[in-house]
Structure 1
Amino acid sequence: MSLADALSAVLGAEIEDLTRLTGGASRTTWAFTARTADGARPLILRTGEADEVHAGMELEAQVQRLAGAQGAPVPEILASSNSVEPLGHPYLICSAIAGETIVRRIQRALDDAGRDKLLRQCAAALAAIHRADPNDAELSDTDQLAQWRVELDDMNDTTATFEWAFRWLDRNRPKSLRTTLVHGDFRMGNLIVDGSELAAVLDWELVHAGDPAEDLAWFCIRAWRFGAPRELDAGGLGSIEDFVTAYEQAGGAPIDRTEFRWWLVSATLRWGIICRFQAQRHLSGQAPSVELATIGRRVCETEFDLLNLLGAPLVTAADSGEDRDSPGLHGRPTAAELLEAVADFLDKDVRDATTGQVNFHTRVAANALRMVQRELTSTGAEAVRAAIADLGADDEAALAASIRRGDFDERADDLLPALRYLVGHRLAAAHPGYEQE
């Protein structure tokens, strides 16, 4: 039985224009029209395999109904099932919502008044979500920090900066933890925006019970302002203070501003671990992808952000690079020059001749080659190794293990300059100029 026929049986309607929209990390989305004697209605189908990380489809449907009852903008849920019958996968069917999800298009369409309006609507939507009782969905609070530690350890990979962030978070955990329904991935990109109106909150697969400040902080990490100016650090829409104040004015619980820094550090660390996890999906062969592979090099961006949040501003390593005209053992063009030529070919000729996902992945591939080019011409590696050795560690893995044991809890003044230098060296290859953006 085809997917359209199976949908027709579920909804008791004729299915038209079934179109696959995305194939994301955990869910696939389809658009279609359901036609009955009463007329045609545009709908959305989400499918995805069951796993231990993401909420099941029936739970997604339940929490959206709970949040919607409190005033959060959510699609109308028509059907959901955790069973693989009859569609071949667990599924959720909901109403289609008009609007835009691509963040840069949303940003270009907003003026100052529109950004302020959307910021307040996002804050109000979170306040509504947090009024829902997680017990109604049989959700209990879990230690997210402990879960991220397990995920990192399962990959058998960490960084010295990650370990310093874990130590800081462990030693400074807020005492006034509250438990509400937490969306888990509330950010620009997971919202439908119609003009300057928040039309719907999407992607509930990471829903759980937790502190409401977790959702607020996640919205405010640097990655989710998508290149917007620094002063628009809440989703690229406004200031963090304006966002938190709007949340409180919309009925959200009071947020302690000092404690909120803890949640920002926690959210930034989480994004760094996600970047490493996405790269692992490529490295393990689970999901070979140039995009996932390149995301792994964004870890140093989160390290930079963590050091800034923890009061250790970065001083970028001064990597001047080797003489680009030096032929080396293999003559000219050098390896770096070959990479530059291929990157230029991808970025110009291939991108001009392609569209859609291939066009996007071509840009990602060109960027990956330029990372390798900068790494090949870097001269700072020995200085970084020397800085680590000065701390009594053989390499970064040994330094990370020492930090985890607490060996540097009272030696931050010794540790942080080395971390700044290490992260600066990585940034010089992965994303030069990130510290100025």
Structure 2
Amino acid sequence: MTGQPATTRDNAAEAVAALEQGASAEQDKLAALLSPLLERARLGALDRHSLTRLTGGASQQSWAFVAADAAAERRAYVLRRLPEDAPLLDNAIGPECEAAAIAAAKRAGVPVPAVRHVLVPSDGLGRGFISERVEGETIPRRIQRDPAFSEVRPRLAAECGAILARLHQADMRSVAGLPHLPPRAKLERLRMLYRRLAFRRPVFEAAFRWLEDNMPTHDATRGPALVHGDFRLGNLIIDTNGVAAVLDWEMAHVGDPAEDLGWLTVNSWRFGNRSLPVGGLGTEADLLAGYIREGGVEIAPADLAFWRIFGSLNWGIGCIEMSLPQGSDVLPSIERAMIGRRSSEAEIDILDELLVLQ
């Protein structure tokens, strides 16, 4: 009986060693391709020891590294790449379009990491881009609770509104290939995904009916805008001065500007602070005041409610999709199963919203 635990430990150690060896080989291969690219792009010489894969990213990889220029000044960058054999997520735009959307947002005054190089086939790294690395915090619970952010926290909801107002006034003409997804198109895409899953939930069915019956109507002052598509805590870098950068633009599209504001108020993105609808940080009044002050158009409470219910439905269906088998190249994991369980939380959020609107 005493031999089994030792065997188990040996097997685990061998598995860890194999993973570390594979990661090291991947790092060496990447460094060999990245070094000459940085020279060509005049970004400096790669510090190979600094090359580190970042966590997160369902389809794209993110690698942090440091490069030194001719004056020996060290700068931090992030390589965001889609390997050649990796598929894009549903609704995700390509990295080239993502980089163009980031550039358009930057010109409009949105804080974003500056894109320094967009990959081309001859780089040998797949599709993607290199951007400057911005320091700060992304973990929601720390932003909500850490004393370091106590002074800036009360201002964040209004600041998010102001940033979204600038984004929604951005010139989109330089961003080729952005999908145009008005409310009805977004709803139909989500319905198609739901039917593909062959999963039926009465609450989700009720949400689809309510959304169909309460589609936003736009007046002449509220046309389509550049929409981030996933603007929330977790995709924002916060420092002691406020929002330092907006990340993860792969869901960007042309659509209803109210979508970004409604998504930010979904209960799942309050991370336990239910009483503060804007990311668990502030009120809708703060968010909309910042939005209007920066030139955003008037957003009706009914439109915010539409996108909040849509957001909970979208997240709930996404949780179910995450828990299902994803193909031979994706291993089952406890994390994916745990996310699948959260679909029930989205159902409760939908019911809460619908009861308020009765």
Give yes or no for TM over 0.5. Answer: yes
Deviations 1:131-186 (A, max 9, x none): 11334313342211111111111111131110110011101111117310000000
Query: 1:208 matched to which residue of 2?
Result: 253
CA contact (8 A) 2:312 2:349 kept: yes
1:119-138 maps to which residues of 2 (within 5 A)? Answer: 119-138=157-176
Separation (CA, whole Å) in 2 of partners of 1:87 and 1:158:
44
- Equivalent residue in structure 2 for 1:100, among 126, 137, 143: 137
Q: How does 1:282-431 map to 2 (within 5 A)?
A: 286-311=330-355
Shift of residue 294, structure 1, vs aligned partner: 1.6
Give runs of aligned pairs for residues 54-133 of structure 1, distance below 5 A.
54-81=92-119, 83=121, 85-109=122-146, 113-133=151-171
In the alignment, what sits opposite 1:26? 59
| CA distance, structure 2, for counterparts of residue 216 and residue 181 of structure 1 | 13
Q: Is the 8 A contact 1:29 1:44 kept in 2?
A: yes
Distance 1:285-1:87 versus aligned 2 partners, 3 A rule = closer
**What residue identity is the alignment partner of 1:180?**
A
Question: Do the aligned partners of 2:108 and 2:171 also contact (CA within 8 Å) in 1?
Answer: no
- Listed one character per residue, the Cα deviations across residues 370-404 of structure 1 (whole Å, up to 9, x for unaligned) are xxxxxxxxxxxxxxxxxxxxxxxxxxxxxxxxxxx
Is contact 1:127-1:247 (8 Å) kept?
yes
SS of 1:74's equivalent? coil
Partner residue in 2 for 1:260? 304
Q: Which residue does the alignment assign to 1:239? A: 283
Q: Which residue matches 2:269?
A: 224
SS of corresponding position for 2:161: helix
Q: Tell me, yes or no, if the aligned pair for 1:50 and 1:82 is still in contact at 8 Å.
A: no
Deviations 1:87-139 (A, max 9, x none): 43212100011111111111122566422222222111111111113343133
Distance in 2 (CA, whole Å) between partners of 1:2 and 1:56 is 23
Q: Deviations over 1:381-431 (max 9, x none)?
A: xxxxxxxxxxxxxxxxxxxxxxxxxxxxxxx9xxxxxxxxxxxxxxxxxxx
Residue in structure 2 matched with residue 149 of structure 1 by the alignment = 191
Equivalent residue number for residue 377 of structure 1: none
Q: 1:164 aligns with which of 206, 222, 227?
A: 206
Q: Is the 8 Å Cα contact of residues 141 and 209 (structure 1) preserved in structure 2?
A: yes
How many Å separate the matches in 1 of 2:310 and 2:223?
16
Query: Larger Cα Rg: Structure 1 or Structure 2?
Result: 1
Q: What is the percent sequence identity of the aligned residues?
A: 40
* SS across alignment from 2:67: strand
**Which residue identity is paired with 1:263?**
W
Structure 2 counterparts to residues 177-192 of structure 1, below 5 A: 178-192=223-237
Query: Counterpart of 1:8 in structure 2: which amino acid?
Result: S
Check whether the contact 1:179–1:212 (CA below 8 A) recurs between aligned residues.
yes
**In structure 2, C-alpha distance between the alignment counterparts of 1:14 and 1:202, rounded to whole Å:** 25
Give secondary structure in 2 for the equivalent of 1:4.
helix
Q: Which amino acid counterpart does residue 318 of structure 2 have in structure 1? A: I
Distance 2:237 2:246 in 1: 7
> Is the 8 Å Cα contact of residues 109 and 195 (structure 1) preserved in structure 2?
no
Change (3 A) 1:82 1:289: farther
Separation (CA, whole Å) in 1 of partners of 2:286 and 2:134 = 28
Query: CA offsets, 1:293-331, max 9 Å, x none?
Result: 121111111111101111179xxxxxxxxxxxxxxxxxx
1:2 corresponds in structure 2 to 29
Counterpart CA distance in 2 for 1:93 and 1:305 is 38
What SS does structure 1 have at the residue aligned with 2:55?
strand
- Provide the TM-score with structure 2 as the length reference: 0.82
| Corresponding position of 1:14 | 45
Instruction: Tell me the residue number matched to 1:396.
Output: none
Code of the residue aligned with 1:175 in structure 2: it is T
Q: Calculate the aligned-residue CA RMSD, in Å.
A: 2.1
Alignment-mate amino acid for residue 35 of structure 1? A
1:47–1:91 CA contact under 8 A, matched in 2? yes
The answer to whether the Cα contact below 8 Å between 1:22 and 1:29 also exists between their aligned partners in 2 is yes
Alpha-carbon distance in 2 for matches of 1:82, 1:204: 19
1:221, 1:121 → 2: CA distance? 18
Question: Secondary structure at 1:200's aligned position in 2?
Answer: strand
Q: Is the 8 A contact 1:282 1:293 kept in 2?
A: no
> Partner letter of residue 92 of structure 2?
H
SS in 1 for 2:341: helix
| Structure 2: gaps spanning 5 or more residues | 1-27
Q: Distance in 1 between matches of 2:254 and 2:325?
A: 27
SS at match of 2:152: helix
Scaled by the length of structure 1, what TM-score is found?
0.67
Separation (CA, whole Å) in 2 of partners of 1:3 and 1:252: 43
